[in-house]
Amino acid sequence: MTSSMNQQAAASQKTRAEQETENEANRLREQIDEALVVVASRSPDEIESLQTAADRIERVARDLSDALRRLAQQRRAPELP
């Protein structure tokens, strides 16, 4: 099997909560990468962009926290037969 086939097989075995948590984690990584680009620019015009990046990271981090809590609740709940 190829790597992408392995990833697809693993993805199909994930619960909705696991997929959502993974998606939110990836969104946070993207926002952090975008923020690092703004930080590296060191332009005085980027002050607004820095604040926007902070707001976005805060929002996505909150979404990830919520997804992690939902996943924890799902795993805590007994599985139904």
The dihedral formed by the CA atoms of 32, 38, 42 and 43, expressed in degrees to the nearest 10: -160
In terms of C-beta density within 10 A (0-12 exposed, 13-18 middle, 19 or more buried), how is residue 43 classed? exposed
Is 28 part of any domain?
yes
Contact 17, 74 (CB under 8 A): yes
Is 81 part of any domain?
no
Is 8 part of any domain?
no
Name the residue with higher pLDDT: 11 or 27: 27
Give the structural domain span for 66: 13-76
Is 71 part of any domain?
yes
pTM: 0.76
Question: How many residues does this entry show for the chain?
Answer: 81
Is 5 part of any domain?
no
In whole angstroms, give the CA distance from residue 11 to residue 16: 10
Structurally, how many domains does the chain consist of? 1
Residues 33-63 have pLDDT tens digits of 999 999 999 888 889 999 999 999 999 999 9
